[in-house]
Amino acid sequence: MSAINDLIAQIEDEKLRLRIDEEVKRLLKQKKFGLVFEEHQPEGLQEGPIYPTLQVMDQVQHAPDKSLWHALIEADNYYALQLLAYLYPAMVDCIYIDPPYNTGARDWKYNNDYVDSADQYRHSKWLSMMKRRLLLAKKLLNPRDSVLIVTIDEKEYLHLGCLLEEMFPEARMQMISSIISKKGSMRKNGFSRCVEYIFFVMFGDSSPVDSENDMSGTGKESQSYSPVCWQYLKRRGTSHGATRKGRPGLFYPIFINKETGTFHSVGDSLPLDQNRKTLVCPNGTWAAFPLRPNGEEGVWQVQQSRLLEQLEEGTCFLSNVDESKEAAQFLYLKSGDREKILKGEVLVVGKDETGRIIVENSENGKKVRPKDVWVMDSHDATHGTNLLNTFFLEKRFSFPKSLYAVHDTIRFFVANKPHALIVDFFAGSGTTLHAVNLLNAEDGGNRRCIMVTNNEVSEQEAKTLTKQGFKPGDEEWERLGIARYVNWPRTVCSIEGHDVNGQPLKGEYLGTDHRQMKDGFPANCIFFKLNFLDKTQVALGRQFRELLPILWMKAGSEGVCPQLTSDEIPQMLVLPENRFAMLADEKFFSEFVEQVNEQDAVRMVYLVVDSDAMYREMAKYFPKRQTCQLYRDYLDNFRINYG
């Protein structure tokens, strides 16, 4: 190096001397071994800090008794990940992504064509794109127990594996091979492709659970790994027998302890002429009734005596409550599955904290560790295509993942986490959220999924729209984008159980206890579009309405997302159904403290105060709650971390 420095010093032209010196220093910084590629500038991305917000586009509510909500965010995932890293730092249990495979296909963007012919290393553009996003994803994952799952094919699996090893040296990594087409897909001048690869990057204590199926194709072909199926105690359907008038004996109150949110007792069936609002509850309780999403009075599935028996057995349990809606969600076993328990045909190994029995998952009482080659008929890619066709009755998306392949993949890591947070930031057609809903329906879980996808149109549609005089941003263009044309309609249809024309879905889900697709799922989901705010306006406190959805998500996304209809900022908000409260005017602090402390449900408190010392003093009044200084916390996060 000293010789090179001496030679550089002899260059008389100062500009040339400085330029060569800079290039030599740059070369010295490059890696000498491992994955070497040319770092590209962001693909059209904005440099410097951004100040994101979420605009509500739509929502579907098919489970008013459940307080948690899934979310779809329409955005470039690079920006959405910056927002999610602010909302859920080190809090995510599972990230599942199916990124572009860099095949050159242009059916949908991200355009799946990241090879840059000008690069000496032809995969640099794709690797740069992935590295930027994985660096952000790393901030989301819980280092104590979480998993990053990435699917890929032969075009980039070697380079992706090296990249993952470099970026996550603290994790354990394993790659499995999954047969997705036994017929094979032709490759020019090569072997037909039957397989794709799945990388599992496991952090901390994370590891796959054992199951009854080793995934090799020689075991039981089933996606439902429980010998019993939990059902909802509130009767569903629209028949006369599912209403209070049709079955008045099954319309009765279930009393819930106000302080603990646990089961207290059951009451007598109400006569048809008695208004439920006139019922007197035992001290310290409130009454839950079988109410429909539209407020109509339905019925429970069983009589009071049967309910009490099953609660005692653990074949019925309380999974969620919402006093503001008179709603309590119970799950129970129907007669057939209950008989398996009572006759000892299914082994009971204990009870969980809700009182629910825990059953041995395999019928012969043995579990096996899945193998690293998966040969499952249900994972065939045709299942993904056929399922989408049932929703759309036409082709809207190429090569969707099999629902059951995604279900199995994430199940191995969240089966024992009924409240897991799962993120997919290459969400495409929306298979991941669909799989989470199926998993929740099977075991009564309350897992939450956040999906991110852009709203790009296919290359052919872009050409057609351009010829017609349309451009990105026009309604005619945006409605054909992947978020609005594929992901969101699929999400709504799968949750509500109908196709895009409103007709009930036909068929049942594979491997389940004859779960009908027309029944949908008891789930809620909100559709956001990511926008950007002016930091000055935020600092002046003029963008509270725009930030409200972010505050809702940061507090846990519980209850219907609150929205303000005007720019006027309330002096304070106390929203127990959303688990958070906000104080905008210090003059009302005493009243605010009193109201918040009356609501045990409030977990997050936002305080709008400029002085750090004043904020710390005010926060002392909420020792059992998480506090946040608006708008300082938000602005500092994006300025410091992404500036």
**Structure confidence at residue 104 (pLDDT):** 60
**Structure confidence at residue 6 (pLDDT):** 83
d(CA 606, CA 297): 37
Contact predicate 116/124, CB 8 Å: yes
**Structure confidence at residue 491 (pLDDT):** 97
- With 0-12 / 13-18 / 19 or more C-beta atoms within 10 angstroms meaning exposed / middle / buried, residue 271 is exposed
Residue 283 has pLDDT above 70, yes or no: yes
Contact predicate 555/578, CB 8 Å: yes
Task: Return the sign of the alpha-carbon dihedral for residues 551, 553, 555, 559.
Answer: positive
| Helical (H) or strand (E) element with 405 | helix 403-414
The tokens describing 501, both together, are: 């024309």
d(CA 59, CA 70): 10
Q: How many CA atoms lie within 13 Å of 372's alpha carbon, on the beta-carbon side?
A: 8
- What percent of the chain is modeled with pLDDT above 70? 92
pLDDT class of 224 with cuts at 50, 70, 90: very low
Question: Could you read off the pLDDT of 390-424 as tens digits, one per residue?
Answer: 998 777 887 889 999 999 999 999 999 999 999 99
d(CA 121, CA 162): 15
d(CA 282, CA 259): 13
Question: Could you read off the pLDDT of 130-150 as tens digits, one per residue?
Answer: 999 999 999 999 999 999 999
Residue 17 has pLDDT above 70, yes or no: yes
Q: What is the mean pLDDT of residues 108-115?
A: 52
Q: What is the mean pLDDT of residues 52-63?
A: 96
DSSP collapsed to 3 states, 368-392:
ECCCCEECCHHHCHHHHHHHHHHHH
Quote the strand ranges of 153-235, DSSP E.
172-179, 195-204, 231-232
pLDDT class of 362 with cuts at 50, 70, 90: very low
What single-letter DSSP state applies at residue 517?
A: G
Residue 190 has pLDDT above 90, yes or no: no
**3-state DSSP call for residue 58?**
strand
Residue 41 has pLDDT above 70, yes or no: no
**Structure confidence at residue 120 (pLDDT):** 56
**3-state DSSP call for residue 450?**
strand
**Structure confidence at residue 218 (pLDDT):** 64
Domain ranges of the chain: 54-170+401-527, 231-359, 533-642
Q: What is the mean pLDDT of residues 628-638?
A: 95
Question: Could you read off the pLDDT of 28-40 as tens digits, one per residue?
Answer: 776 655 676 667 6
Compare 430 and 362 and report the one with higher pLDDT: 430
State which amino acid sits at residue 475. Answer: E
The tokens describing 69, both together, are: 């909500």
The tokens describing 1, both together, are: 């190096």
pLDDT class of 183 with cuts at 50, 70, 90: confident
pLDDT class of 616 with cuts at 50, 70, 90: very high
Q: At what angle do helices 124-140 and 157-167 cross, to 10 degrees?
A: 40
Question: Could you read off the pLDDT of 242-274 as tens digits, one per residue?
Answer: 899 999 999 999 999 998 889 999 999 999 999
| DSSP for 121-135, written as a single string | STTHHHHHHHHHHHH
**Structure confidence at residue 221 (pLDDT):** 41
Residues 6+ apart with CB under 8 A from 21: 8
> Is 54-170+401-527 CATH 3.40.50?
yes
pTM for this prediction: 0.76
**Structure confidence at residue 7 (pLDDT):** 85
| DSSP for 231-285, written as a single string | EESB--SSSGGGBTTT-GGG---EEEETTT--EEEE-PPPPTTS-GGGPPPPTTE
Question: Could you read off the pLDDT of 520-529 as tens digits, one per residue?
Answer: 999 999 999 9
**Structure confidence at residue 121 (pLDDT):** 60
**Structure confidence at residue 286 (pLDDT):** 94
Question: Could you read off the pLDDT of 296-312 as tens digits, one per residue?
Answer: 899 999 999 999 999 99
